[in-house]
């Protein structure tokens, strides 16, 4: 080419550049998450996935991102356009495979990404967290789902103490943490086998929150190691189980086919780092069963290690199956400060290798702080034994509708506690029991009973009011039950299931404490039942009025002198210008049917309505006047 033409070409290029600017180069785009072909865990509440990409423009121009989605690679629809490289999808279908791409534009040119796919986890998983065995739901605890130590998904527990997910196939660890809480871990959780897992989030006893390394070994009845229990079909009636922990096991429970606790377990051990026991398999055949090994440290750090056992025995033939009869219950709701797992004694000797002297002293002085939402609620079930031929024990079931049953425990005895997981006051539940036989079969249901847990209530002392002066020497004491959440409201502790007037409120008192003479107390004792009953019974949540009338016919007032056996009838008014305190020694409510009865206790100072001592919240102080 001649110089003339080269010069002309250069002039043309310069003219074009000057008129139109530089040539617009194409942006670049890449997809980041979810990775192509991956399976994704989602929260059940949103079922959402955030699509993430990255893009650059050589000239630095602003970019827009058009997102396309579909359930087949060749049929994608545009679902949105945004100005950032991520887009959140919601309400996806669990188990569904989705295909997606991003088209990036700089307003002049567009570039299309490759088409990637992901599959939403298809295993519904519910993690239920309680404060302690018969306690309330743990609200706001952090629940991390981990796989090979990597975080898969995380959330916090809702008002029911639940964390709910859809997870891909596989095995997971679950870690539960919270402020002031000891760490709780579930290891080897398989949502394809266990949709629901129960766990706890207990108060940390110290700051020694070390998760123990728990090892579970299985042996044949002859003592031969079973090297890979989950890959071995067990044909025996029993196995040896050896549990070893890197930390002292304050408590260790084993449960087959349910999560064990203080009130329901197959095996238990205490204050040891190693334990070996024989585990009966006689109630299972032709089934894979989760074996839960639950370990608590002295800090209440908790591990639930799950081993899945495939059992295929040759049991004896069972020719007759007999259902239990006479199922009956007693239920409790209590706001007493109760922990099921007491500290080891003596603590110092057990813990001196692990903790400092200061921590040991902290443990010795430990007393849980009172907090009314931490409610003890549980049901004690009792029934009549079935004939014992080829019987392995009993399975206990609970239902919300009387048709769909959830197994909550196994026992070889004729009684068992339902530890209260997910029991809500004022809601109706059904229970039944089935006899379990050595071939794994069950009988028909026992009789089915209906149970309505009562809610808590508190007692408001109305008069004399606290610090009142110039009070009559024959005052009328008034009090009433109130809603524990709102002391200005009347409690409806049976919810919509039980009419208020069918619930009986029971009181013992008032007790009048002489603030000058600490060894003497005056209290009310109904004249009609003197020597027998000492309680006041009221139908429904009514206000109670009780005159201090020591010489009248209304009742009897009695003076006790502590340290002696002296008991006197109080025949005089209270002393002039003297300071007293008054309150109740017992305040409970109960509801009884042919199936059993339920007790709600807010004060129980040794009267055996509650299973525990339940202190009064407060007493009112008053000072008498001239008359």
Q: Quick one: residue 228, left, alpha or beta (phi over 0 = left, psi -120 to 50 = alpha)?
A: beta
Asked whether the predicted pLDDT for residue 44 surpasses 70, the reply is yes
Three-state SS for 447?
Answer: coil
Listed by start position, the domains of the chain span 28-120, 458-624
**Which residues have a Cβ under 8 Å from the Cβ of 176 and sit 6 or more positions away?**
127, 129, 138, 141, 142, 143, 144, 183, 184, 185, 199, 201
CA distances from 602 to 228, 332, 336, 480, 545 (A): 51, 11, 8, 13, 19
pLDDT band at 57 (very low <50, low <70, confident <90, very high): confident
| Higher per-residue pLDDT: 375 or 443 | 443
Is a pLDDT exceeding 90 seen at residue 424? no
pLDDT tens figures, 578-622:
999 999 999 999 999 999 999 999 999 888 888 778 889 999 999
* Measured distance CA(170)–CA(188) in Å, rounded: 9
Q: Are 333 and 600 in contact (CB under 8 A)?
A: yes
511 with 522: CB under 8 angstroms? yes
- The confidence band for 334, taking pLDDT boundaries of 50, 70 and 90, is confident
Residue pair 263/255 in contact by the 8 Å Cβ criterion = no
Confidence of residue 386 (pLDDT cuts 50, 70, 90): confident
Task: Give the confidence band of 186 by pLDDT, cuts at 50, 70, 90.
Answer: very high
375 pLDDT above the threshold of 80: no
Residue 196 clears pLDDT 70, i.e. is over it: yes
Query: Is residue 296 over pLDDT 60?
Result: yes
pLDDT at residue 526, rounded to an integer: 65
Q: Which helix (H) or strand (E) is 4 found in, with range? A: helix 3-20
Closest CA to 247 of 201, 171, 185: 185
Whether pLDDT at 471 is above 80: yes
**More confident of the two residues 406 and 610:** 406
Query: Which of 99, 118, 120, 199 lies closest to 165 in space, CA to CA?
Result: 120
State the chain's maximal CA–CA distance in angstroms. 136
127-181, pLDDT tens digit by residue? 999 876 556 688 899 999 999 999 999 999 998 899 999 999 999 999 999 998 9
CATH architecture of 28-120: Sandwich (2.60)
Which range, of 5-14, 23-32, 452-461, averages the lowest pLDDT? 5-14
458-624 folds as Immunoglobulin-like (2.60.40)
**3 pLDDT above the threshold of 60:** no
Q: Which two tokens stand for residue 50?
A: 């955030």
Answer yes or no: is pLDDT of 362 > 80. Answer: no
> Measured between alpha carbons, how far is residue 26 from residues 57, 63, 80 in Å?
7, 11, 22
Query: In this structure, are residues 424 and 497 in contact, taking their beta carbons and an 8 Å threshold?
Result: no
Q: List, in order, residues 6 or more apart from 243 with CB less than 8 Å away.
A: 214, 215, 216, 249, 252, 254, 269, 274, 275, 276, 293, 295
The answer on pLDDT for 542 being more than 50 is yes
C-alpha 67/C-alpha 119 separation (Å) is 17
Tokens in use for 94?
């669990």
* pLDDT value for 555: 58
pLDDT band at residue 107 using 50, 70 and 90 as cut-offs? confident
Residue 409 pLDDT exceeds 80: yes
Q: Which two tokens stand for residue 126?
A: 């519910």
Return mean pLDDT, the chain: 86
In this structure, the chain runs to a length of 627
Distance CA 55, CA 59 (A): 12
- Read off the pLDDT band of 419 (50, 70, 90): confident
Mean per-residue pLDDT, 428-449: 95
pLDDT at 17 over 60: no
Looking at per-residue pLDDT, the higher value among 371 and 355 belongs to: 355
Q: Which residue has the tokens 């909550």?
A: 408
133 burial level (CB within 10 Å; 0-12, 13-18, 19+) = buried
Strands 28-33 and 49-56: antiparallel
Q: What is the pLDDT of residue 454?
A: 94
pLDDT (average), residues 280-307: 94
Cβ atoms of 157 and 140 within 8 Å: the answer is yes
- CA dist., res. 599 & res. 492, Å (int): 14
Find, among 378, 371, 382, the residue nearest to 332 by Cα. 378
Domains 28-120 and 458-624 agree in fold: yes
Residue 491 has pLDDT above 90, yes or no: yes
Residue 351 has pLDDT above 50, yes or no: no
């Amino acid at each position: 080419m001649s110089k003339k033409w080269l010069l002309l070409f250069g002039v043309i290029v310069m003219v074009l550049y000057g008129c139109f600017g530089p040539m617009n180069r194409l942006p670049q785009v890449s997809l980041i998450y979810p990775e192509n072909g991956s399976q994704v865990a989602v929260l059940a509440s949103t079922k959402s996935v955030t699509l993430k990409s990255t893009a650059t423009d050589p000239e630095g121009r602003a970019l827009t991102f058009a997102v396309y989605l579909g359930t087949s690679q060749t049929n994608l629809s545009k679902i949105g356009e945004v100005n950032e490289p991520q887009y959140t999808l919601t309400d996806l279908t669990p188990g569904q495979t989705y295909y997606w791409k991003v088209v990036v534009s700089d307003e002049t040119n567009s570039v299309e990404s490759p088409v990637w796919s992901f599959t939403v986890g298809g295993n519904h998983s519910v993690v239920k967290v309680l404060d302690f065995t018969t306690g309330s739901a743990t609200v706001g605890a952090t629940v991390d789902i981990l796989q090979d130590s990597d975080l898969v998904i995380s959330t916090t527990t809702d008002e029911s103490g639940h964390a709910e997910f859809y997870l891909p196939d596989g095995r997971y660890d679950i870690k539960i943490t919270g402020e002031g809480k000891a760490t709780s871990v579930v290891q080897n959780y398989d949502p394809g086998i266990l949709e629901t897992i129960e766990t706890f989030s207990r108060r940390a006893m110290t700051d020694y929150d070390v998760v123990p390394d728990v090892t579970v070994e299985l042996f044949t009845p002859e003592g031969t190691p079973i090297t890979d229990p989950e890959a071995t079909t067990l044909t025996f009636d029993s196995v040896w189980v050896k549990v070893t922990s890197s930390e002292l096991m304050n408590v260790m429970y084993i449960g087959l086919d349910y999560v064990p606790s203080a009130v329901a377990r197959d095996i238990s051990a205490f204050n040891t780092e190693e334990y070996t026991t024989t585990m009966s398999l006689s109630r299972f055949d032709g089934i894979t069963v989760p074996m839960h090994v639950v370990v608590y440290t002295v800090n209440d750090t908790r591990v639930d290690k799950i081993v899945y056992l495939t059992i295929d025995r040759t049991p004896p033939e069972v020719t007759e199956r007999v259902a239990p009869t006479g199922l009956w219950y007693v239920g409790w709701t209590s706001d007493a400060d109760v922990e099921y797992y007491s500290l080891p004694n003596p603590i110092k000797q057990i813990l001196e290798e692990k903790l400092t002297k200061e921590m040991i002293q902290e443990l010795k002085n430990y007393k849980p702080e009172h907090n009314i939402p931490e409610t003890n609620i549980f049901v004690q079930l009792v029934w009549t034994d079935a004939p014992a031929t080829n019987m392995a024990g009993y399975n206990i079931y609970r239902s919300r509708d009387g048709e769909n049953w959830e197994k909550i425990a196994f026992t070889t005895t004729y009684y068992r506690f339902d530890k209260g997981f997910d029991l809500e006051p004022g809601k109706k539940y059904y229970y039944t029991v089935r006899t379990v036989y050595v071939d794994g079969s069950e009988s028909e249901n026992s009789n089915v009973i209906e149970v309505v847990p009562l809610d808590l209530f508190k007692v408001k002392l109305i008069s004399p009011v606290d610090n009142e002066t110039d009070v009559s020497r024959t005052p009328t004491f008034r009090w009433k039950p109130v809603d524990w959440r709102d002391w200005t409201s009347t409690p409806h502790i049976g919810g919509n299931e039980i009419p208020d007037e069918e619930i009986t409120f029971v009181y013992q008192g008032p007790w009048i404490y002489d603030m000058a003479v600490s060894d003497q107390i005056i209290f009310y004792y109904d004249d009609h039942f003197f020597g027998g009953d000492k309680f006041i019974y009221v139908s429904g949540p009514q206000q109670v009025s009780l005159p201090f009338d020591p010489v009248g016919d209304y009742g009897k007032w009695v003076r006790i002198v502590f340290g002696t056996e002296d008991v006197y009838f109080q025949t005089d008014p209270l002393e002039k210008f003297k300071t007293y305190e008054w309150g109740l020694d017992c305040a409970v409510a109960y509801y009884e049917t042919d199936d059993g009865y339920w007790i709600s206790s807010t004060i129980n100072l040794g009267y055996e309505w509650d299973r525990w001592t339940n202190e009064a919240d407060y007493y009112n102080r008053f000072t008498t006047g001239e008359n």
